[in-house]
Structure 1
Amino acid sequence: MSVPSQVDLASCADEPIHIPGSIQPHGFLLFLDAAGRIEGWSANAPEILAGQLQLGLAYTTLPLPPACTDLIAECIDLLAEGEYAPAVAAVSIAGHDYDAIVHGSHGRVIAEFESRDVPADTVAMFAVKAHSSIERVRRQRSIEGLLETAVRQVREFTGFDRVMAYVFREDDSGDVVAEARRDDLAPYLGQRYPAGDIPAQARRLYVLNTLRMIADIGYTPVPLLGAPGAAPLDMSFGVLRSVSPIHVEYLQNMGVHASMSVSIVINGRLWGLIACHHMAPKRVPHAIRMAADVLAQVMASTVQSIEARSDAELVEQSAKVRTALVESLLIDEEPLDALARHADDLLAATRSQALVSVHNGKIISHGPIERETAEAIVRAMPADASDILVRDKLGEWPQDVHASVGKWVGLLGLPFDPPGGGWCLLLRTEQIEHVSWGGRPEKLAQVGPLGERLTPRGSFDAWHETVRGHAHPWEATVLANARLTQSELLRASNARRAQLDSTRAQLLAMLGHDLRDPLHSINMAGTLLERGAVQPTLGRRIQSSSNRMQRLIGQVLDMSRIDGGMGLGMVFEPLDLAALVEDVIDESRMAYPSIDYSFANPGPTCVRADGGRLGQVLSNLLSNARHHGEVGRPIVATLAREPGWAVLEVANGGAPIAQDVAASLFNPFKRSSLHNPRNRTGMGLGLYIVAQIVREHQGEIAYRHEHGQVVFTVRLPLAEMERAGPT
């Protein structure tokens, strides 16, 4: 028989580590074609087989143990269906014990014989320990506890000097988050290793073949022999596969002589890694390695369950917030009020620290963010965005706002009303991170064993770096929930805009109708005056009609200013609220002497306010009480002081307002207000404008029913001089 040549890999680019052309020497290997004919073997095949190994012969001609030939036959039968997962049998050849591992890949059958020098009873004892470890890991309820338990248990049943748990980030760098080690070894816990430490082809193999062992990095590779020109043997799933000289050099630089790695793969991605190091050569029996592999699979399943549970809780929380927010938007007249009301829940559901909202040029903020910063962030928003806007670091912001953004570098922006410039902006602060790298993360081009290339780092002492300008990245679940929220907000805004367009048309029609009567009255009165008719009622009729027209036009103008985002043009100055209430009550008594008005003046109550606008608030509330209260029962106004607040209440006798009507009391154009027989000229704008005036005073307005009375409560901040009390 002619001696086959070594499989040549010299022409393979980019270090194809899955086809190294050699194996580690603590075992031997045979590979066959899909028909079971011999295609090649490792140069260290035992003498009992070497004399009978010939290319093209059937494997059945070899003196292999029946347990091994049975696995090969099964692999050949199933190979036509695709790749055949590794199967194991304990065998003895020429007095030596082996673990025979047979698998099929790329149309070939690969039989690996790993030497086993540990007695079966010892392996069984290790297996019992491993089973106990798996149960301990399975019981963990947090990822931190899971990894801490895993490294301790793996070290206990394998005996490695150091066992570390890596968790990989989105950029593929990895953090050592748990470690069990020999006491005299320097700790690596908390260090980060750059993505380049695991090249792309190695990362692929970690996903395909979740366990790898190097028994002695000082080994001499054993070449594979086969037919000249034959395709290289793919050893992606091999257990004896020789490793990259670059990786060997990397381990040597760390002072490691043996290693084992177990992949934690979740949804096809390398999520983490259990890395085991020993400072002397070490072989771990195949059965024990398989126990570690099962442990990693249990870990992956447990991590997935923990993360799924956390995601489900976040989804449920977000759904509740979204539902409540949309309900508020559909019944509230001002989107910013709805966002402010649910700000705390929005921050919790998105794990944010601040919220800024803008609509029609008006800006509100929630959380520890300065007004100037909020305004700068709003100015940095694009005018034509239709999808959510995500920023995780300062470098993703426009250059001209870097100084203004400050620490708020994480942004999740939800455009909810593009025509009105509506944005809901959720913000995260900069996370100043002090990274302890496992040596400097950069690699230098040097001449190594493989010529000029990127040589692994020579030092693994911690190299510290401070990273600024980065926020915690927005999680996939948060982004998915944000898109749903943005869609619902946009839908609610469109519905509100359509309703406003409809009510504007209704307003114009109603205004034209309602102005016709007072204009006609004024015209008739003018005609009579022109003819010289003198009637005592003409002056009152002209005044009454003019007042109605003024009120209607004033409400429409106020509505237009509010809807256009211009505000009501307040002029704030110190004001005695008690004196204002007294004046308005007196005017009402003179105008409507048949109605009993009650007010007990509590004495000076100072607020900073626009007197004319607050008079408008009180006049409207008294008018509502007059039109809707029970005839014969008094209208009662009260004014009291609470810590930091002036509390004004107007009450009238009457039945409770229906729940569906109460929910929209402060909306414009309420159906219950249109064509009310007790207030035929009402357009449903009065309480809406009142609420806007109160809001612009940083106050609150609310309705309640108690003791047979309808009560409207207005709370206004006391002026600073009154908050401080007497000096």
Structure 2
Amino acid sequence: MNIKDIVNRDIVNLTNCESEPIHIPGTIQPHGFLIGIKKQDYLIDYCSANSTDFIGLKPEQLLGQHFTDIFQDVQIAQLSAHITDSYIDSPKPFVTTRNGIPFNTTAHLSGETFLLELEPFPNGALDLPNLYDQTRRFVSAMEKNNTLVELCQEIAHETREITGYDRVMIYRFDKQYNGEVIAESKRADLESFAGQKYPHTDIPAQARELYIRNPLRMIADINYTPVPLLTTDSNEEKSNQSLDLSLSILRSVSPIHIEYLQNMGVGATLTVSLLQDNKLWGLIACHHYSPKILPHYQRLAALLQGNFLTSQIKVREVAEEFKISEQVDKALFDSLSLLHEDENFVENHYNSASLLQLANASGVVIYQEGKLYTNGLVPAQETLLPFLGQLRYLYKNGSGHTEQLLSIYPEGRELTKFAAGIIYHAMSASSSDCILWMRQERIETVHWAGNPEKAIDMNAGGFRLSPRKSFELWKEVVKDKSAEWRKSELNAASSFAYALQKYLNLRQVRLEEERYRIINEELKAANKELANINWISTHDLKEPLRKIQIFASKVLDREDPELSLKVKDSVERMRYAAEKMQLLIEDILNYSKTGSVPKVFESTDLNEVFQSVISDLKDTIEEKKAEILHDILPEIPAIRFQIQQLFVNLISNSLKFAQDGVSPVISITYEIVGPKMLPGNSSLKNVDYHKISFTDNGIGFDQEYRERIFQVFQRLHPHHKYPGTGIGLAICKKIVENHNGILIANAKENEGAVFTIFLPVQLTAAK
């Protein structure tokens, strides 16, 4: 028979200690023996080399045999029902008997192999412990102890009473998995470890993972000799990798951990995992200073103590957090009440005590509109202002917090006296306005159980990792850090910052509303004056102008020989000036009306509008011998009289600016275009548009004037040759804008011009 061991012989060194495969050592502790049977046929595939010590059979007598040939009293069906994937231990163990000797048998499935770990009952007892008394004592401890630490101390005493270990400690891990002894029960002559911390490197990540998977772990004798596991398979691929011992009770321990415990002077250990939310919260660690095998039921009693404590951890932590959150919530309520009651909260209440208490801060700063409002202990203004600017850059999402400012702002060492920890909330994305809570530096002396740095030894083989050899008290002074911000404090600060932001925004809105109200009143007064001017223009100015024109005409019509040519010329100029002024008044009134009349849209057939305009301009068209071509035009929602004015102005413009000796040709074309065809500056690009173009062969203009021609009183040509007021195209643009449209012009000198109108197809676009 070909027998080989599956011992993991990898050397643990500096490069692999953090990934040491402690779950597949290929060895076990010697206070029991192990048998691995194939799941499909119950043939023994693995056994430990110490089987002879317990049942008198050598490994070669076990390997390859059917399990029931060795243990005749065991029922296979009973064993199969007992084994489950997640099984580790049970209040009532599976008992395997050989030659009348009962063995406590822990069973679980590892891959395709059933692992049976058999331990003799050291005192021969098969009875369960008094669970009633144990539970009763825990309930009593739970009732009389108010804090979690007090309860942990009670659990430590009770666990030591149950197990008989020389020392029982309860560790609590921090966020970095550094452990702190928060409770201890010990032999009177032993030095206390209470309050000491142990670095996270003492329990590496893979060990913590096993503590989560297997909550109970015992080392009966620190100085044990590992027992190899044997198999008959000659296949080289069958190695320690084939047998995962993560859930094993007898699994051998890392040599690094053994050396660590030897350096502490420990002889035996028992650990119970304390879990919260599937994470390792802490450990119950039991130390004995000589070898100690704890019977199965006492182990279960210790595990039950861990379960008791685990059930209370979150309850006690929440209760302790609740007490603080009550105080925080009251301060938050007081601050919010002041905020809602006073329009000028920042100016009048920035120094209120509740503003500090809602985050249990030592200082708070509000920066608003270039002014600093400080409360409590804060840095000087000359260092604070640049610091606030840096925080805006560091917290681009608008908020953040830290207990160690130097970790995000190394230049801020001089600030840590006031702001070792901060909570920051921006009030505005467009300015530096913000609120900042600060906590002073808390200088803390941490008591480590020995220097937390692992030692590196040099020997003949080179560098090797060595566990710490000294566990004497080693003090470390921690500076530049504040107390940790609690969740309730962070939530309260966030709630107040949000409320303050809303308050400041509402106040700004109210100020803007007041400013616009004043402007609106001024505009109303101005509009009233303009209305008066319109009335004067319509009635008081037009009537004198009409009389001037009449009297001038009468003077000229008389042809009085006594009037000199010079007088007649002056009268003619006066009459012409009056006509021009009257025309200007009419155009100004028309321009004013395009922006002031109600925008009442009605379905308008542009073909009818076109025909009406042609009829009005019939005499001019015939006089100019003009030719007007047009497409079939659409029916659109429009302000009818304004659209008619638009057509009149554009066609009249083309007739007016015809080339000398060339008959005007005006072409009106129509099509529907998509939003991509609109000019680049348009913001109305979400619907289709009517495109109506007026093209002529007139004198045109230089393209540099394509925007200027739409401005009021802008003229490109001499008045004596092309009469007008310079308002007509401005009126056209205003009318198109009233219809949420766009009017553009393109031209070449002496070749003609094109005026293009874009009007949205959808009525909703013309609200």
In the TM superposition, what whole-angstrom CA distance separates every residue of 1:500-520 from its partner, at most 9, and x where no partner exists?
4333322321355579999xx
- In 2, the alpha carbon distance for the partners of 1:489 and 1:419 equals 16
Q: Give the CA deviation at 1:48.
A: 5.5
| Structure 1 residue aligned with 2:309 | 299
- In 2, the alpha carbon distance for the partners of 1:187 and 1:387 equals 48
| Structure 2 residue aligned with 1:424 | 435
| Structure 2 residue aligned with 1:86 | 89
| Structure 2 residue aligned with 1:202 | 207
The answer to whether the 8 A contact 2:46-2:63 is kept is yes
Provide the secondary structure at the position in 1 that maps to 2:194: coil
Q: Give the CA deviation at 1:41.
A: 1.4
The alpha-carbon distance between structure 1 residues 47 and 288, as it changes in their structure 2 partners (threshold 3 A), is closer
Provide the secondary structure at the position in 2 that maps to 1:144: helix
| Structure 2 residue aligned with 1:389 | 400
- In 2, the alpha carbon distance for the partners of 1:201 and 1:443 equals 17
Q: Give the CA deviation at 1:174.
A: 1.1
- For residues 517-596 of structure 1, what are the structure 2 equivalents within 5 Å? none
The alpha-carbon distance between structure 1 residues 344 and 290, as it changes in their structure 2 partners (threshold 3 A), is farther
Provide the secondary structure at the position in 1 that maps to 2:412: helix
| Structure 1 residue aligned with 2:138 | 134
The answer to whether the 8 A contact 1:414-1:424 is kept is yes
Equivalent position amino acid for 2:318 in 1: A
Structure index of larger Rg: 2
Report the more deviating stretch, 455-464 or 26-35: 26-35
| Structure 2 residue aligned with 1:10 | 9
1:20 aligns to 2:25 (yes or no): yes
Alignment partner of 1:357 out of 358, 366, 390: 366
| Structure 2 residue aligned with 1:259 | 269
1:456 aligns to 2:467 (yes or no): yes
Report the more deviating stretch, 371-380 or 460-469: 371-380
The answer to whether the 8 A contact 2:329-2:358 is kept is no
Equivalent position amino acid for 1:188 in 2: F
In the TM superposition, what whole-angstrom CA distance separates every residue of 1:92-117 from its partner, at most 9, and x where no partner exists?
43343422111224343221112221
Equivalent position amino acid for 1:466 in 2: V
Provide the secondary structure at the position in 2 that maps to 1:350: coil
Provide the secondary structure at the position in 1 that maps to 2:512: helix
Q: Give the CA deviation at 1:497.
A: 3.7
| Structure 2 residue aligned with 1:59 | 67
Q: Give the CA deviation at 1:89.
A: 2.6
1:441 aligns to 2:452 (yes or no): yes
- In 2, the alpha carbon distance for the partners of 1:481 and 1:66 equals 63
**Long gaps (5+) in structure 2:** 530-767
TM-score scaled by length of structure 2 = 0.61
| Structure 1 residue aligned with 2:658 | none
The alpha-carbon distance between structure 1 residues 398 and 90, as it changes in their structure 2 partners (threshold 3 A), is same
Equivalent position amino acid for 1:251 in 2: L
- In 1, the alpha carbon distance for the partners of 2:513 and 2:225 equals 85
| Structure 2 residue aligned with 1:547 | none
Q: Give the CA deviation at 1:210.
A: 1.3
Alignment partner of 2:344 out of 325, 334, 348: 334
- In 1, the alpha carbon distance for the partners of 2:308 and 2:31 equals 29
In the TM superposition, what whole-angstrom CA distance separates every residue of 1:29-87 from its partner, at most 9, and x where no partner exists?
112233234321111224466578555554333315437x45531156x55xxx44534
TM-score scaled by length of structure 1 = 0.64
Q: Give the CA deviation at 1:219.
A: 0.9
- In 1, the alpha carbon distance for the partners of 2:226 and 2:378 equals 62
- In 1, the alpha carbon distance for the partners of 2:79 and 2:508 equals 72
- In 2, the alpha carbon distance for the partners of 1:200 and 1:507 equals 69
| Structure 2 residue aligned with 1:161 | 166
The answer to whether the 8 A contact 1:385-1:415 is kept is no
Provide the secondary structure at the position in 1 that maps to 2:118: strand
Q: Give the CA deviation at 1:248.
A: 0.7
Provide the secondary structure at the position in 1 that maps to 2:80: helix
| Structure 1 residue aligned with 2:149 | 144
- In 2, the alpha carbon distance for the partners of 1:286 and 1:246 equals 27
The answer to whether the 8 A contact 1:376-1:404 is kept is no
Provide the secondary structure at the position in 1 that maps to 2:427: strand
Equivalent position amino acid for 1:59 in 2: F
Equivalent position amino acid for 1:475 in 2: R
The alpha-carbon distance between structure 1 residues 515 and 153, as it changes in their structure 2 partners (threshold 3 A), is farther
| % identical aligned pairs | 31
| Structure 2 residue aligned with 1:367 | 376
- In 1, the alpha carbon distance for the partners of 2:498 and 2:254 equals 51
The answer to whether the 8 A contact 1:53-1:62 is kept is no
Provide the secondary structure at the position in 2 that maps to 1:101: strand
Provide the secondary structure at the position in 1 that maps to 2:365: strand
In the TM superposition, what whole-angstrom CA distance separates every residue of 1:383-423 from its partner, at most 9, and x where no partner exists?
57433221212423534432244243110112223435322
Question: Alpha carbon RMSD of aligned pairs, Å?
Answer: 3.4
Provide the secondary structure at the position in 2 that maps to 1:156: helix
Q: Give the CA deviation at 1:21.
A: 0.6
Q: Give the CA deviation at 1:325.
A: 5.0
Provide the secondary structure at the position in 2 that maps to 1:421: coil
1:212 aligns to 2:221 (yes or no): no
- In 2, the alpha carbon distance for the partners of 1:152 and 1:353 equals 39
Q: Give the CA deviation at 1:354.
A: 2.3
| Structure 1 residue aligned with 2:79 | 72
- Size of the aligned set, in residue pairs, is 512
The alpha-carbon distance between structure 1 residues 456 and 167, as it changes in their structure 2 partners (threshold 3 A), is same
Equivalent position amino acid for 1:473 in 2: E
The alpha-carbon distance between structure 1 residues 51 and 399, as it changes in their structure 2 partners (threshold 3 A), is closer
The answer to whether the 8 A contact 2:427-2:501 is kept is yes
The alpha-carbon distance between structure 1 residues 296 and 507, as it changes in their structure 2 partners (threshold 3 A), is farther
1:475 aligns to 2:486 (yes or no): yes
Q: Give the CA deviation at 1:355.
A: 1.8
Equivalent position amino acid for 1:187 in 2: S
- In 1, the alpha carbon distance for the partners of 2:180 and 2:526 equals 74
| Structure 2 residue aligned with 1:40 | 46
- In 2, the alpha carbon distance for the partners of 1:313 and 1:514 equals 62
Provide the secondary structure at the position in 1 that maps to 2:283: strand
Provide the secondary structure at the position in 2 that maps to 1:204: helix
The alpha-carbon distance between structure 1 residues 204 and 426, as it changes in their structure 2 partners (threshold 3 A), is same
Equivalent position amino acid for 1:391 in 2: T
| Structure 2 residue aligned with 1:695 | none
In the TM superposition, what whole-angstrom CA distance separates every residue of 1:277-304 from its partner, at most 9, and x where no partner exists?
1111111112111121121122122011
The answer to whether the 8 A contact 1:258-1:280 is kept is yes
- In 2, the alpha carbon distance for the partners of 1:187 and 1:112 equals 36
In the TM superposition, what whole-angstrom CA distance separates every residue of 1:165-184 from its partner, at most 9, and x where no partner exists?
11111111111121111121
Provide the secondary structure at the position in 2 that maps to 1:165: strand
